[in-house]
């Protein structure tokens, strides 16, 4: 599925799109991703944009520190156009399929989210689809993209990551992290 002319126009990107491995596409300097709920993105994206800037401008920031792909609104101010949302494209980045790296990035991300958003009784704000949404940039720094939010205990988000890795990489033997989870839950 490709974004419509209306989506491309409102995000002010060229018609030529480059498909990524999933349903997302690169258009100009943005990544457009389908399947986003405007009600969720209206509260999530401003929070992520502020957090991304805060993380990028820390006085002691190192090139290897975690970054968030900055969400970008459409020209009309909306965060979602016909189900598509946008974030800044990270040239030279590649998706990591290393579960240990993804879980480590998730721990840092969830700590950042916990400091930015007060937890609720059901848990804290977490990324529920972390596996496949962590990129490594040209210097190896992690960049988190396409945050799928929910209010859950961090351990549940980590378990979802392990399950997603098992589905995406069924023929690879378990990593250290997967073995740790199996020992906690031998089912």
pLDDT along the chain (187 residues), means of 10: 93 90 88 92 94 93 91 96 94 92 97 90 92 93 94 95 84 54 49
Cα–Cα distance, 60 to 65 (Å, whole number): 10
Torsion of CA 112, 118, 120, 125, to 10 degrees: -30
Record the pTM. Answer: 0.84
Q: List CB contacts of 78: < 8 A, sequence separation 6 or more.
A: 10, 38
Give residue 170's pLDDT: 64
Strands 124-127 and 85-88: unpaired
Q: How far apart are the first and last CA of the chain?
A: 37
Give residue 47's pLDDT: 94
Give residue 186's pLDDT: 43
The number of helices, as runs of H, and strands, as runs of E, in the chain is 5, 11
User: Which residue ranges form the domains of the chain, and what is each CATH number?
Assistant: 5-88 (3.30.200), 94-184 (1.10.510)
Give residue 21's pLDDT: 72
Give residue 100's pLDDT: 95
């Amino acid at each position: 599925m490709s974004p419509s002319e209306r989506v491309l126009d409102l995000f002010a990107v060229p018609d030529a799109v480059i498909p990524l491995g999933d349903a997302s596409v690169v258009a100009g300097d943005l990544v457009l991703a389908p399947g986003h709920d405007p009600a969720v993105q209206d509260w999530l994206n401003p929070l992520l944009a502020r957090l991304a800037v805060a993380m990028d401008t820390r006085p002691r920031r190192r090139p290897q520190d975690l970054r968030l792909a900055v969400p970008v609104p459409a020209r009309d101010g909306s965060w979602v156009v016909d189900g598509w949302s946008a974030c800044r494209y990270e040239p030279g980045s590649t998706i990591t399929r290393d579960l240990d790296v993804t879980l480590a990035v998730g721990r840092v991300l969830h700590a950042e989210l916990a400091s930015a958003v007060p937890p609720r009784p059901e848990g804290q704000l977490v990324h529920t689809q972390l596996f496949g949404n962590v990129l490594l940039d040209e210097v190896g720094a992690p960049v988190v993209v396409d945050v799928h939010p929910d209010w859950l205990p961090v351990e549940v988000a980590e378990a979802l990551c392990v399950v997603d890795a098992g589905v995406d990489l069924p023929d690879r033997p378990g990593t250290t992290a997967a073995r740790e989870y199996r020992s906690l839950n031998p089912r």
